[in-house]
């Protein structure tokens, strides 16, 4: 059983330096189990599944050793902690996430929308980003020209990108409209969907990521700009192949 003092708990959850956290506690801004706690030395069990709940400024939080988040990314936002041309994706998340060093797991282009994962768990980020895991990612692309059987065939057979040693192929793809294609990739190369479509003789006008592994954005029920915590069951299915017919 692991216990932490209340000031350390608040610090670990992104509420600032320990000195500031102690001030919050001593001024009566923190409650645990409905009771105001003004002694920062008070200790609480934080081991899962204890799920310690505490309230600051009237808002209730659950202690989480690490944060795992799914976000339906809006357009015109950058997946960077130091954005240059568009607002950063962290600006629509709680300020505490920045203090916790929550960061995107991989990146979506500023104009690409859809499912984005974020976490402060370095091992999780590395595992999800590693090309060795071959985690399938499902995209829907709107194309400039009509989707043809020849385009599908080229993407499935593999297209050569100028900076890649070997052709890159889609794991699976099919037309879902006259100018819309669903494509599943495992490699995660830079601008991969857009570059593959260009290499196959078409142009990507809009792009949305709808699933990562077995985790579907539609099943999460997130509107554009909304986010949710991922629980253990959802994290466990990230590496599973998606149900392609349902995407």
For 56-82, the pLDDT digits (tens) are: 999 999 999 999 999 999 999 998 777
Chain centroid to Cα 224, Å, comes to: 13
- What H or E segment, with its residue span, contains residue 53? strand 53-56
| R_g (Cα) of the chain, nearest Å | 22
Choosing from 109, 111, 120, 145, the catalytic residue is: 109
The pLDDT confidence band at residue 50, using thresholds 50, 70 and 90, is: low
- Angular region, 10: left φ>0, alpha ψ -120 to 50, beta rest: alpha
The pLDDT confidence band at residue 247, using thresholds 50, 70 and 90, is: very low
Per cent of the chain over pLDDT 70 is: 95
Per-residue pLDDT tens over the stretch 92-122 = 999 999 999 999 998 898 999 999 999 999 9
Residue pair 173/160 in contact (Cβ under 8 Å)? The answer is: no
Residue pair 32/5 in contact (Cβ under 8 Å)? The answer is: no
Residue 216 to residue 210: CA distance in whole angstroms: 6
Residue 203 to residue 216: CA distance in whole angstroms: 25
**Which range is least confidently modeled, 8-17, 39-48, 89-98, 232-241?**
232-241
- Is 198's pLDDT higher than 50? yes
Backbone φ and ψ of 108, nearest 5°: -115, 145
Per-residue pLDDT tens over the stretch 143-196 = 999 999 999 999 999 999 988 889 999 999 999 999 999 999 988 788 899 999
The DSSP bridge pattern shows strands 53-56 and 30-32 to be antiparallel
> Which domains occur in the chain, in start order?
3-62 (3.10.290.10), 66-247 (3.30.2350.10)
In the residue annotation, 111 being an active-site residue is answered as no
pLDDT at position 245, please? Answer: 43
pLDDT at position 232, please? Answer: 87
Residue 21 to residue 24: CA distance in whole angstroms: 5
Residue pair 47/2 in contact (Cβ under 8 Å)? The answer is: yes
pLDDT at position 9, please? Answer: 96
**Gap between the terminal Cα atoms of the chain:** 42
């Amino acid at each position: 059983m692991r216990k932490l003092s209340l000031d350390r708990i608040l610090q670990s959850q992104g509420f600032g330096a320990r000195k500031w956290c102690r001030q919050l506690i001593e001024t009566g801004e923190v409650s645990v189990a409905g009771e105001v706690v003004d002694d920062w030395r008070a200790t609480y069990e934080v081991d899962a599944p204890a799920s310690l709940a505490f309230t600051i400024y009237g808002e209730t939080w659950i202690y989480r050793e690490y944060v795992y988040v799914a976000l339906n990314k809006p357009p015109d936002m950058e997946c960077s902690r130091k954005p240059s041309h568009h607002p950063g994706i962290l600006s629509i998340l709680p300020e505490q996430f920045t203090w916790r060093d929550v960061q995107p797991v991989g990146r979506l282009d500023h104009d690409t929308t859809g499912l984005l994962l974020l976490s402060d768990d370095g091992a999780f980020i590395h595992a999800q980003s590693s090309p060795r895991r071959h985690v399938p990612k499902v995209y829907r692309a709107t194309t400039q020209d009509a989707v043809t059987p020849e385009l599908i065939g080229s993407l499935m057979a593999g297209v050569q990108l100028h900076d890649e040693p070997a052709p890159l192929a889609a794991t699976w793809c099919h037309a879902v409209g006259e100018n819309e294609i669903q494509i599943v990739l495992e490699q995660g190369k830079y601008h991969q969907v857009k570059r593959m479509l260009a290499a196959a003789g078409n142009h990507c006008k809009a792009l949305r990521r709808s699933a990562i592994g077995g985790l579907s954005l539609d099943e999460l029920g997130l509107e554009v700009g909304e986010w949710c915590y991922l629980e253990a069951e959802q994290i466990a299915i990230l590496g599973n192949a998606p149900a392609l017919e349902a995407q």
